[in-house]
Structure 1
């Protein structure tokens, strides 16, 4: 298996460690605005949230949308869009001499779809002409009056992944249950933090340098120094934690983070709807899998991350493009590359896929006549050992959506 792929596969198949390895970056206090994925720069006056409504400096925002502002009078906003004069009836607010207006009103009037991404507190305006959103990965299975949607997640993302294709949102809107690997909104809970400390840290007084070669440890020191950290900052942790931390740091530097991942996006929407969340795995099982890797495999994985650190962001971009384009062949290449290491492949995919497929089989055979929206790492679905094939082996028809 190409070493760089080894460093990225957790982004497609394991949510838990990514959510706990590196503290999530704090969300900005004020909302941001992007138009067709380009940031709108506000020189002095930033957007605000006023009683649940995102208000933006009117003139600056309209200029970014190529809309001309003619006048504002008594709750009416007079603008010129594509040479046509239009009157918008909307509340406005004067703050420090600057007129603010609701972003949704002006955005929709200018022909944009307006979306709110809670994780990054960003308002996304997307031209309707640009088409439907990222394709992603989704399959549908029906049985006994039950419907299961299988959604392949990438566990880190950025705002460019959103808005999602309408088929995702429509299927989720009808769901009775959300299923995920683990509920990563609980990553900061005391119980989960104890798990990572108990499993991921040495408890016998030894440190990382006692368990890896001098060459490997020297590479860890160098990478940490390059990133403004103390060279011994990760000494207390086992190689599997150090490897994921280093890979996640690089991904975050490239603008990707677990806070914008596809699974967390739907977890937060489920919480808003008070939708029951089913966990197909647990923090303990995921962390225990990594912790159960042999000493040799842990150091091998760590070296893959270290040796490819400088180019990891390029490969994360490639992984992101695979998800956005819904490229089944490219995803299958990533999945098949794991077969080069039997220990890694069995633990990360084969064993877990069997458990997931059995649980989904239970949902399909249920008497509840319900709709299940199941979001797990995209790497779990394809290939001869993937969840899709396992469900087909059980007699189900699995349809790509």
Structure 2
């Protein structure tokens, strides 16, 4: 899924003078909001100065979810429980013969055997395909969120998050909207485009060009999977809004780090805040 791809890698080719960081104000109260993707290559550091500016100004960091919880053994067990078949069902039971063969051929081209994924659900397969491709392209380092999570731990800054790891697991489980063949076919097409499109997408992130990101990826995603788009982006943006407006009613300064696609388009977090009268300014 394009959402998973865009939330999985960070961009390194700097273009323009802005960045994917915004300052939102309500009178004297301030919240910084930065776009993040969850895998980086070593060459992606240092990050744009706007991230350090927001981090240094903040006393609290707010993430999509509890990063420590994501890395816990308990969450890994929950992932296997909810994203693998527990009743003896196998992947070839839910996919058409043509789709199963296409998936097997793709995995084989990456020196992987489909037999090792026999009990994965299509949702987990789609995530796995993306991660394998990104790592093959050299994106092997921690992302912006983990980078600042560990920095905040060392600096004794406060930490918070919007969703529990279990809630995020439920979102992944919902991928495909019941059409197992479609999600695998789309994922297979998508990963083959990463190598050719990664430079452009990295430019959009690094320069904070949300209009370009929306046009190049999000519009197709919403058209192909409107229900999933609503679940993963639109509804979650709405769910986060009360917490964000609460932050803007207190003098404490927060730095919020969420997937970059949550910051693009008319249904984005930034647009929702602007519509409620808050001042939104992109940092240079």
Give the TM-score, by structure 1 length: 0.64
Which of the numbers 360, 363, 367 marks the counterpart of 2:244?
Answer: 360
Cα shift readout 1:64-98 (whole Å, capped 9, x = no counterpart): xxxxxxxxxxxxxxxxxxxxxxxxxxxxxxxxxxx
Q: CA deviation at 1:317?
A: 3.2
Structure 1 residue 372: deviation in Å? 0.2
> Does the alignment pair 1:247 with 2:96?
no
Which structure has the bigger radius of gyration? 1
- 1:386 and 2:273 are equivalent in the alignment: no
Q: 1:151 aligns with which of 24, 34, 46?
A: 34
Which of these residues, 80, 104, 107, is aligned with residue 224 of structure 1?
107
Contact 2:36 2:145 survives alignment (8 Å)? yes
Q: Determine the structure 1 residue equivalent to 2:3.
A: 9
Partners of 1:224 and 1:251 lie apart in 2 by: 14
The CA deviation at 1:210 is: 0.9
- The structure with the greater share of residues assigned to strand is 1
Q: CA deviation at 1:201?
A: 0.6
Indicate which of 232, 257, 260 corresponds to 1:348. 232
Write the distance in 1 (CA, Å) between the matches of 2:218 and 2:114.
Answer: 34
SS in 1 for 2:267: coil
How many positions carry a matched residue from both structures? 278
Matched residue, 2:256: 374
**Structure 2 unmatched runs, 5+:** none
| CA distance 1:179–1:11, change in 2 (3 Å) | farther
**Alpha-carbon distance in 2 for matches of 1:339, 1:132:** 27
| C-alpha distance in structure 1 between counterparts of 2:159 and 2:182, whole Å | 35
Structure 1 stretches of 4+ with a deviation exceeding 4 A read 131-135
Residue among 190, 199, 224 paired with 1:317: 199
Question: Greater helix share, 1 or 2?
Answer: 2
Output the CA distance in 1 between the equivalents of 2:177 and 2:183.
10
Deviation at 1:296, TM superposition (A): 3.9
Aligned match of 1:85 = none
The two structures have a TM-score, normalised by structure 2, of 0.89
Please state whether the residue corresponding to 1:312 is helix, strand or coil. Answer: helix
Q: Deviation at 1:149?
A: 0.2
Secondary structure of the 1:202 match is coil
> Of the two structures, which has the highest relative contact order with CA contacts closer than 8 Å and spacing of 6 or more?
2
